[in-house]
């Protein structure tokens, strides 16, 4: 299945050692949680887990892992944009392409754990608070978004 591509942006799995290095570097630069995942390839390559790098032209600018489960949910994990390029629209594209990937893999819903600082970012992309997981973690907001078929139009909140 081809990777989704929008204009100069492209979302695809890291392949070479240099691309894996970029994948880990971007998220470790901006996410404390990512430091424990340093080059932990077993978790990255578990069944249903899809590590992805966002490219802008020839530059890797963002990273995400899309974890697909048997219930047709896509968990968006460790969402990160290069600090030099934040607040310029890359995060929005990263989410949109990840949702497209999830939809192409038969998912009907994306779910995530948002930090309090990132809740506004996800809300702007159509995510709403939703206790989809039984586990409660202080300072984390569980959010979700239904993935509609593009033929049926936009998502309920309209803007992704």
Kindly indicate which of the ranges 2-10, 42-50, 111-119, 146-154 contains the residues binding ligand COA, using the contact rule CB under 6 A: 111-119
Residue 90 is a binding residue for ligand COA (CB under 6 A): yes
Max Cα distance, the chain (Å): 40
In the chain, how many H helices and how many E strands? 4, 8
# residues near ligand COA by CB under 6 A: 19
Instruction: Check if the beta carbon of residue 48 is closer than 8 Å to that of residue 101.
Output: no
Q: Which of 97, 121, 126, 144 binds ligand COA (CB under 6 A)?
A: 121
- For ligand COA, give the closer residue by CB, 37 or 121: 121
Q: SS3 of 147, please?
A: coil
Q: Which stretch binds ligand COA (CB under 6 A): 35-43, 87-95, 130-138, 150-158?
A: 87-95
Q: Give the integer Cα–Cα distance in Å for 116 and 150.
A: 30
Instruction: Please tell me whether residue 12 binds ligand COA under the rule CB under 6 A.
Output: no
Could you tell me which residues come within 8 angstroms of residue 1 by beta carbon, excluding any fewer than 6 positions away? 104, 105
Nearest residue to ligand COA, by Cβ distance, number only: 91
Verify binding: residue 120, ligand COA, rule CB under 6 A: yes
3-state secondary structure of 48: coil
Q: Is 2 in the site for ligand COA (CB under 6 A)?
A: no
Complete DSSP assignment for 50-82: EEEEEEETTEEEEEEEEEE-TTSEEEEEEEEE-
Q: Does 117 bind ligand COA (CB under 6 A)?
A: yes
**Sites of contact with ligand COA (CB under 6 A):** 30-31, 79-81, 86-92, 114-115, 117-118, 120-121, 124
């Amino acid at each position: 299945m081809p990777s989704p591509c929008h204009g100069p942006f492209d979302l695809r799995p890291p392949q070479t050692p240099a691309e894996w290095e970029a994948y880990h570097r971007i998220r470790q630069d901006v996410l404390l949680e990512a430091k424990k995942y340093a080059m932990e390839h077993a978790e990255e390559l578990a069944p249903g887990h899809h590590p992805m790098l966002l490219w802008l032209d020839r530059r890797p600018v963002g990273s995400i892992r899309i974890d697909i489960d048997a219930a047709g949910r896509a968990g968006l994990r460790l969402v990160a944009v290069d600090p030099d390029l934040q607040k310029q629209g890359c995060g929005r594209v990263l989410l949109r392409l990840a949702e497209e990937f999830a939809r192409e893999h038969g998912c009907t819903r994306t779910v995530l754990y948002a930090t309090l600082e990132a809740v506004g970012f996800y809300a702007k992309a159509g995510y709403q608070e939703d206790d989809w997981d039984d586990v409660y973690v202080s300072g984390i907001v569980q959010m979700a978004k239904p993935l509609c078929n593009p033929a049926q139009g936009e998502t309920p909140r309209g803007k992704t």
